[in-house]
Structure 1
């Protein structure tokens, strides 16, 4: 029963995150040499943009957040647990 409740809550959160964004998009990238695939998942809300980059196997590699109001870009490296504000 608890697993079902947690699963339902997780699915509801996913729908809520998508409902919050004005535009949600996905880009799939394939390289032939060396063979690899990557994916970018993005969300746009008003003047703000967030893009999450995934490596082979779906591992979250990095994120980029643009805040339109302050005109700043935040680049996040999840492996290093670091970020840079431009």
Structure 2
């Protein structure tokens, strides 16, 4: 009977670890997609409006984490003269 409970506990732990890994990979994948979309949005904004926003690590990270709101923050900070 003890072996049954140990096996069941091990199975539950393995399933929880797998679910945690899947959730982590999903979040990383979303950040990668947001980064690529943010880079294209910044490039498009620069080329269409001649804004000269520098595309660097921080502007990509802000856009990746914030999505569209992050993109608007980067553009707003550029036009206010605070950064980028």
Larger strand percent? 1
TM-score (norm 2): 0.29
* Structure (1/2) with the larger helix percentage: 2
Considering only CA atoms, is the larger Rg found in Structure 1 or Structure 2?
2
Q: Which has the higher contact order (CA 8 A, sep 6+)?
A: 2
